[in-house]
Each structure stands twice: as C-alpha cells, then as structure tokens.
C-alpha cells in the first residue's frame, strides 16, 4: 500500500526506533524516566510510530513500553517481538493501554541466519511467519512484519515470505538491511522487485530499516523510498546496533531540502531536531561527532575565509538549509551577568523549553553563577544547564559543594559535601589526582563497591578557555550501565555532578530491583 493522502505529495511515515534499536546498543541504555522523556519529545516532533522497546527482553523493557503506551496519545506505539508466541503475548500485554498500538514481529530470511542462527529451513520459517503474524493480529489490526537480514536473502524466497505475512494480516512489511550490506541501487532494485513480485503488496506499506555499517544507511533508506517504500525506520543521532541506524535528522532534512528530487512529505517538525539530538546526547552521554550532518557542532559553522565571506554576503552561498530550520537559533540577544530573570525566561522559551517557576528559579541561580565566570552565556550553555537540571531534579543524592587541593606541590585532596535524602554529609579524601580524590570521596559517602567506572569523558560545550565542561560518567553494575552527565564551568565540579548523576541512577535501579 502506498499512502497517497490529501495533499499532492505522497507521505513517508517516520518510524523511530531510538528507544529499541538505539537503546539496545552499547552505552545507550536509558531508565524509565529517560525513555518517557524521549518518547514525549518524539511525539511532539511528529514521529508517526515510536518503537518503544522489546517487551520480552526484560521487566524494565516491558514497563517502559507499557508506560509509554499509557502517555503517548498521538503517535502509534510499537513493541518488538520475535516470532515466538510468548514474545507476542507479552508485547500485546505491554501495548494494551495505547491509543494506537502496533506489534512488530520479525524472523530472519537469509540463508546465513536461517542455517546458523535459527537452524530452520525455508518451510519452517514460513510456518513461523503464519503463526506469529496470526497471533499478533489477535492483539491489534496494526501488525508489522520484518524479514531480518532481508538484503542477504534469496529474493524469491523473500517475496514468498512477504506474501505469507500479508496473507496472515501484516499491513507493514519491513525490509531491513540488518548488517548494512546493501548499496543504494541494489536496495532500490530489491524494493522494486518486491513490488513487482508480491501479488498483494498493495495491501501493505513497505518500510525500510537500514544499518550504517558502510555509511550508507541514509542513502539506502532514501533509495528505498524512491523505489516505493513509504516508511523509514530511523533513530535520533543515528544510534543503533554497531554503526547505528539511519539518522532521523538526516533522512528528514534530505527529504525537505531535496524535495525537488524526492517529492514526499513527512510529519516531522524539523525545528525540533536540535533539541531532540541534544536531549538524547545528554541522556546517554554520547556526543555526536562535530562534523555530523545536521546536528554536529560544525554542521552550520563556516571557518574558511572564502566561505565566511560568501555567507556574510548571502547565506545561500554555502548553506543549503537554514540553521533555524533544524532549531538552531541565532540569538540576537546575548545573555551575560547583567541579564535578568525575564531575559532568561524568554530565551528559554525561544529555545523550545517550557519550565515551571521552580525550575526557572533553579536555572536562574545556575545561570548567574555561570555568568559570573563566563563573559557571554551562549544558547549551548543554557541548553546544557536546562538538560542538567531536568536530568537531576529527582535525584536523592545531590551535589552541594567541592573544594579541591591539586597541583604538584601538595597531595591532591577533595573536600566534598553532598545531601543524601535531605541530610548533609561531608568528607575529605586524598587521591591520585583531583578526579580520583572526588570519585573516592563519593564512593566513601555512598558505598557501591560492586560497580565499576566504565567511562569518564570531558567535553567543552563551547569554545574558549572559559567554556563549560560537560562530563560524562558511566558506571557498570552486572549487565547494566548507568550514564551520568554534569555541566559546570569548573571541570572538577562537572565531574562530581556527572558521577553523582550516574550513581543516583544506579541506586534507583538497586532500590527498584529490591522492591520487585
Ligand atoms: O536490523 C534489524 O533487522 C532489526 C529488526 C528487528 C527489524 O532491527
Ligand atoms: Zn536494526
């Protein structure tokens, strides 16, 4: 089925899998509150389908899909399941509260996967498709079926499998390039082949799900759309298994910017792209590379003299899309230490955030502290502070103060003050360097010996030596990882904040596991 809607241009559905394919990749795990926050953002952005997780994978995954299903009212909420009865039942259960729900079930169709992973022959795979799609239809009439490793499958067997899925009631047929092996011309040929060789293909929407192992995920996805696919599966910042999935922001901006060549429409509010990218980066502690298309720090920066000269004369000389179209505002009003609460409030609103009075008061206090240290407070600084405050507002362990003794002439000592569930605790600890001293101090005040520090990363939010530091800390306990971020003009304070943020998540997870 190709959706030709009321406008003249065909609609391409945006299926976001940040919370499933993205979240399952190393270092990208999120807790329930974080998943809900991302889901709400995706909904506000206009994503058509939110793949909220893989409910059978763990009780946490089930809960996340279930909670997202309760709160998301516009987008369709989707849950993944293997071609296994129990998976489908659990997905059906998790999605029950959703206003609009979809079950996404998959099985591999390539010789490699069927032989080595599934140990099934073609007949068994076809039987499994009948069983899984039929069962999924008991829970919803919106069923997506995926042929895992489709691009390495025998095309005729793939068509047979698709035909079977459609006959059993699947109305979205997803063609994943699971291992990122396809090239754009070949992928388009495959979609065309499917359209020409599956009798009832018009009863379903063809979807594409491309991985980026050869850096071709976006090109393959768009090539698939040009050949007749009408759903693209993608993730914010392109996160996902191995090299990731097609990046939502790249797919959407390519469709918008080159609408002359790709005359399709999609429902995404592109001015929310930067916010979505930053919120995700802050949540998982993965900053995108500076030269990343659309959302990288340099994506709209012009460094060379010739380019700067051109842009100053007319932006169209070197800009194929405006920074504003992706939500990068060029602030006319620069904030500094003389700026008041009102100026901050309107800047926050222009940046697309809505803060209550308490949150604004907290932000204003941190803004003033920063403005004392940094001459100009830029949009990036304000966003980092907002994200930092939002991420830590419910934390039981909170940073109060830090005094450091460091350098070559004395031992490195951290004097740290925290509140733990409202009670103030302080300690002075010596370490091998100031960061070691801080982390030891936290470990002493809140013992958590079973966990290990997996990542410590410092990133400057803007240029200049007075830039705020954004620190990421990842703690690992068992199979789970907990990312924390901290922002401050003082790198050591940011380090303490980041560690405490990760520790709060770890402790909350322990408490939840104990209560269960
Ligand atoms: O890459 C893949 O094949 C998948 C499927 C589960 C759709 O993620
Ligand atoms: Zn995938």
Which residue minimizes the CA distance to atom 5 of ligand 1? 148
* CA-to-CA dists, residue 70 to 123, 149, 198, 264, 512, angstroms: 39, 32, 36, 31, 20
Predicted pLDDT at 318:
83
- Which atom of ligand 1 has the smallest separation from the CA of 150? 3
Question: How much distance in Å is there from the Cα of 225 to the middle of ligand 2?
Answer: 18
Predicted pLDDT at 95:
98
Using pLDDT thresholds of 50, 70 and 90, give the confidence band for residue 206: very high
Instruction: Find, among 281, 237, 276, the residue nearest to 388 by Cα.
Output: 281
Which residue minimizes the CA distance to atom 8 of ligand 1? 21
- Which atom of ligand 1 has the smallest separation from the CA of 17? 8
Task: Ligand 1 pocket test: pick from 18, 54, 106 the residue with the most ligand atoms within 8 Å of its Cβ.
Answer: 106
Work out whether the CA dihedral 361, 363, 369, 370 comes out positive or negative.
negative
Predicted pLDDT at 311:
76
Using pLDDT thresholds of 50, 70 and 90, give the confidence band for residue 5: low
The pLDDT > 70 percentage for the chain reads 97
Q: Which residues line ligand 1 (CB under 6 A)?
A: 21, 106, 146, 148, 174, 176, 178, 209, 211
Higher pLDDT, 390 or 187: 187
Which residues fall within 8 angstroms of residue 93, CB to CB, at 6 or more apart? 55, 62, 66
Predicted pLDDT at 30:
92
Question: How much distance in Å is there from the Cα of 423 to the middle of ligand 1?
Answer: 47
* SS3 assignment for 154-174: CHHHHHHHHHHHHHCCCCEEE
Question: How much distance in Å is there from the Cα of 144 to the middle of ligand 1?
Answer: 12
| 223-228 average pLDDT score | 98
| 163-180 average pLDDT score | 98
pLDDT of 6 higher than 90? no
Ligand at shortest distance from the CA of 235? 2
Predicted pLDDT at 516:
77
Which residue minimizes the CA distance to atom 2 of ligand 1? 178
Predicted pLDDT at 309:
77
Higher pLDDT, 330 or 310: 310
> What distance in Å separates the CA atoms of residue 347 and residue 335, rounded to the nearest whole number?
9
Task: Note the pLDDT tens digit of each residue in 8-32.
Answer: 899 999 999 999 999 998 889 899 9
The whole model's pTM is what?
0.87
Using pLDDT thresholds of 50, 70 and 90, give the confidence band for residue 333: low
Predicted pLDDT at 458:
93
| 140-154 average pLDDT score | 98
pLDDT of 3 higher than 60? no
Question: How much distance in Å is there from the Cα of 146 to the middle of ligand 1?
Answer: 7
Predicted pLDDT at 389:
86
Question: How much distance in Å is there from the Cα of 483 to the middle of ligand 1?
Answer: 25
| 129-140 average pLDDT score | 98
Beta strands 452-460; 423-431: pairing state? unpaired
- Which atom of ligand 1 has the smallest separation from the CA of 174? 7
Question: How much distance in Å is there from the Cα of 234 to the middle of ligand 2?
Answer: 9
Ligand at shortest distance from the CA of 244? 2
Q: How many CB atoms lie within 10 A of CB 353?
A: 18
Residue with token string 């997202």: 68
Task: Ligand 1 pocket test: pick from 17, 21, 61 the residue with the most ligand atoms within 8 Å of its Cβ.
Answer: 21
pLDDT of 175 higher than 60? yes
Could you please report the per-residue DSSP string of 131-149? HHHHHHHTT-S-EEEEEET
Predicted pLDDT at 290:
87
- For residue 174 the two structure tokens come to 């997803």
Question: How much distance in Å is there from the Cα of 308 to the middle of ligand 1?
Answer: 43
Mapped onto helix, strand or coil, the DSSP state of residue 276 is helix
> What distance in Å separates the CA atoms of residue 389 and residue 366, rounded to the nearest whole number?
9
309: phi then psi, degrees, rounded to nearest 5:
-60, -45
Asked if 449 and 478 touch (Cβ cutoff 8 Å), the reply is: no
Predicted pLDDT at 515:
84
Q: Tell me the average pLDDT of the chain.
A: 93
| 58-68 average pLDDT score | 96
Question: How much distance in Å is there from the Cα of 470 to the middle of ligand 2?
Answer: 30
Higher pLDDT, 91 or 25: 91
Q: How many CB atoms lie within 10 A of CB 515?
A: 6
Task: Ligand 1 pocket test: pick from 178, 211, 234, 246 the residue with the most ligand atoms within 8 Å of its Cβ.
Answer: 178
Which residue minimizes the CA distance to atom 1 of ligand 1? 178
Minimum mean pLDDT among 41-45, 306-310, 382-386: which range?
Answer: 306-310
Using pLDDT thresholds of 50, 70 and 90, give the confidence band for residue 177: very high
Asked if 171 and 142 touch (Cβ cutoff 8 Å), the reply is: yes
| 127-152 average pLDDT score | 98
């Amino acid at each position: 089925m190709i959706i030709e809607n009321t406008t003249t241009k065909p609609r391409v559905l945006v299926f976001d899998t940040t919370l499933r394919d993205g979240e399952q990749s190393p270092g990208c795990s999120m807790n329930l509150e974080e998943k809900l926050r991302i889901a709400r953002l995706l909904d506000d952005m206009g994503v058509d389908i939110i793949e909220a997780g893989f409910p059978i994978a763990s009780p946490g995954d089930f809960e996340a899909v279930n909670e997202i299903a309760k709160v998301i009212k516009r987008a369709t909420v989707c849950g993944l399941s293997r071609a296994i009865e129990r998976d489908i039942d659990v997905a059906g259960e998790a999605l029950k509260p959703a206003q609009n729900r979809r079950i996404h079930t998959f099985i591999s169709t390539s010789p490699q996967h069927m032989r080595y992973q599934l140990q099934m022959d073609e007949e068994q795979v076809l039987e499994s498709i009948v069983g899984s799609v039929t069962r999924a239809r008991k829970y919803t009439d919106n069923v997506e079926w995926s042929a895992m490793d489709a691009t390495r499958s025998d095309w005729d067997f793939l068509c047979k499998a698709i035909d079977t899925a459609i006959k059993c009631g699947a109305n979205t047929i997803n063609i994943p390039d699971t291992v990122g092996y396809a090239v754009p011309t070949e992928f388009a040929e495959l979609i065309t082949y499917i359209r020409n060789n599956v009798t009832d293909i018009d009863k379903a929407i063809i979807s594409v799900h491309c991985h980026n192992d050869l850096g071709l995920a976006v090109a393959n996805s768009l090539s698939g759309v040009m050949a007749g696919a009408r759903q693209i599966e993608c993730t914010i910042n392109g996160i996902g298994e191995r090299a990731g999935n097609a990046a939502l922001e790249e797919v959407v901006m390519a469709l918008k910017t080159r609408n002359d060549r790709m005359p399709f429409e999609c429902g995404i509010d592109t001015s929310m792209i930067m916010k979505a990218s930053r919120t995700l980066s802050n949540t998982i502690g993965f900053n995108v590379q500076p030269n990343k298309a659309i959302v990288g720090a340099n994506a709209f920066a012009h460094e060379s003299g010739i380019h700067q000269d051109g842009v100053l004369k007319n932006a169209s000389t070197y800009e194929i899309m405006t920074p504003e179209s992706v939500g990068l505002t060029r602030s006319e009003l620069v904030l500094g230490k003389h700026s008041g609460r009102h100026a901050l409030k309107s800047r926050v609103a222009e940046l697309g955030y809505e803060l209550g009075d308490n949150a604004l008061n907290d932000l204003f206090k941190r803004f003033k502290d920063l403005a004392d240290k940094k001459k100009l407070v830029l949009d990036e600084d304000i966003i980092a502070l907002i994200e930092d405050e939002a991420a830590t507002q419910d934390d039981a362990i909170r940073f109060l103060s830090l005094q450091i003794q460091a350098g070559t002439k004395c031992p490195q000592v951290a004097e740290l003050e925290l509140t733990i569930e409202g009670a103030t605790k302080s300690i002075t600890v010596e370490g091998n360097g100031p960061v070691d001293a801080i982390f030891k101090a936290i470990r002493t005040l809140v013992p958590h010996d079973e966990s290990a520090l997996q990542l410590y990363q410092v990133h400057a939010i803007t240029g200049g030596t007075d830039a705020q530091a954004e620190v990421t800390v990842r703690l690992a306990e068992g199979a789970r990882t907990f990312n924390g971020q901290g922002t401050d003009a003082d790198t050591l304070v940011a380090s303490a904040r980041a560690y405490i943020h990760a520790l709060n998540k770890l402790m909350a997870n322990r408490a939840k596991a104990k209560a269960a």
